[in-house]
């Protein structure tokens, strides 16, 4: 099995998949920590599913599905950020936008029946092993922009996440930061879909952050742990899928879930609780 894996690593499509997986995992891991802390799991659903609608729409008019996915996610982020300014309204706004977006997605697929089977394949399991060099360039650009954006607003974003009321009183533009974070989340969704698919998007954008939250209360350490879990699950899933017939998404979701359960078990130990409180 090891010899087979080493042999496969020489192929371009395998190298592309690994590079894409690393890029996606780093971005998803960084964003995941804030998704969990800001209770935005439902928004991830909407961004992924309406992003899929954008992908189907772009296919219908003969354009790139990847750009369609990114465009659909970005537009959804802007709508959620604009209409859901109040936290208590956010879930309702997300539900309304997601319902309308899914309706459009059904229409686009109906108008282009040739895309239906391919669409549902991407919807369920992603397509990391089909990533091309051009796709890597796009992933790299989107990832770099997202990382630069997160780095630039890391401190105010952390402040607004921990205590939005005090942050706003101190002059932090909480609403603007919320919209900008949604846009970065949309970019992360568009990347992560290629690894695990739309229906399993929570694996890379929720589970790493939830796992890290169980391990430490320190924002910086939690961010590092979240990225580590995302990398371990993604790269491990790709490598295991290469030597078996099981899809990548199955391994990624399983590894991430085991990490989460292990973190919960570890955090329940008395010594872990003491260390976690100290951090």
9: Cβ contacts below 8 Å, ≥ 6 apart: 15, 18
Tokens of 174: 């909480």
Instruction: State if pTM tops 0.85.
Output: no
Residue numbers of the domain that contains 222: 2-278
Is 279's pLDDT higher than 80?
no
Give the CATH number, domain containing residue 118.
1.10.3470.10
Tokens of 274: 């003491």
Is the model more confident about 146 or about 278?
A: 146
Tell how far CA 172 is from the center of its chain: 26
Write the Ramachandran bin of 28: left for phi over 0, alpha for psi from -120 to 50, otherwise beta: alpha
Q: Which one of 128-142, 163-177, 225-239 scores highest in mean pLDDT?
A: 225-239
Q: What is the mean pLDDT of the chain?
A: 82
Task: Tell me the pLDDT tens digit for each residue of 182-233.
Answer: 888 888 888 777 676 776 777 888 999 999 988 888 888 999 999 999 999 9
Instruction: Please state which of the ranges 98-112, 121-135, 198-212 shows the lowest mean pLDDT.
Output: 121-135
Is 119's pLDDT higher than 80?
no
Contact by Cβ (8 Å): 231, 20 = no
Q: What is the mean pLDDT of residues 152-167?
A: 86
Instruction: Please tell me the total count of domains within the chain.
Output: 1
Contact by Cβ (8 Å): 34, 145 = no
Q: Where are the alpha helices (DSSP H) in the chain?
A: 2-8, 12-37, 41-60, 65-83, 87-111, 116-125, 133-152, 154-162, 164-169, 174-196, 202-205, 207-215, 219-242, 248-267, 270-278
Is 67's pLDDT higher than 90?
no
pLDDT confidence bin for 258, thresholds 50/70/90: very high
Measured at the CA of 39, the angle between CA 35 and CA 41, to 5 degrees, comes to 65
């Amino acid at each position: 099995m090891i010899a087979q894996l080493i042999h496969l690593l020489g192929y371009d499509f395998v190298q592309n998949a690994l590079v894409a997986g690393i890029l996606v995992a780093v971005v998803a891991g960084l964003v995941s920590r804030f998704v969990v802390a800001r209770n935005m799991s439902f928004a991830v659903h909407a961004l992924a599913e309406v992003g899929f609608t954008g992908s189907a729409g772009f296919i219908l008019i003969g354009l790139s599905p990847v750009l369609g996915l990114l465009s659909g996610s970005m537009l959804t982020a802007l709508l959620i950020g604009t209409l859901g300014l109040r936290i208590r309204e956010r879930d309702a706004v997300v539900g309304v936008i997601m319902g309308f977006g899914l309706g459009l997605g059904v229409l686009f697929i109906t108008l282009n029946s040739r895309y239906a089977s391919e669409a549902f394949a991407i919807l369920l399991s992603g397509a990391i092993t089909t990533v091309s060099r051009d796709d890597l360039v796009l992933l790299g650009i989107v990832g770099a922009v997202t990382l630069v954006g997160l780095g630039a607003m890391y401190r105010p974003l952390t402040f607004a996440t921990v205590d939005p009321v005090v942050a706003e009183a101190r002059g932090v533009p909480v609403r603007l930061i919320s919209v900008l974070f949604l846009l970065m989340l949309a970019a992360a969704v568009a990347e992560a879909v290629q690894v695990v698919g739309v229906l399993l998007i929570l694996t890379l954008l929720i589970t790493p952050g939830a796992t890290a939250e169980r391990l430490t209360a320190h924002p910086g350490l939690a961010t590092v742990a979240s990225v580590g879990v995302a990398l371990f699950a993604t790269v491990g899933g790709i490598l295991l899928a290469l030597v078996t017939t099981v899809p990548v998404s199955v391994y990624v979701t399983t590894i991430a879930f085991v990490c989460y359960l292990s973190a919960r078990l570890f955090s329940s130990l008395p010594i872990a609780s003491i260390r976690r409180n100290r951090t």
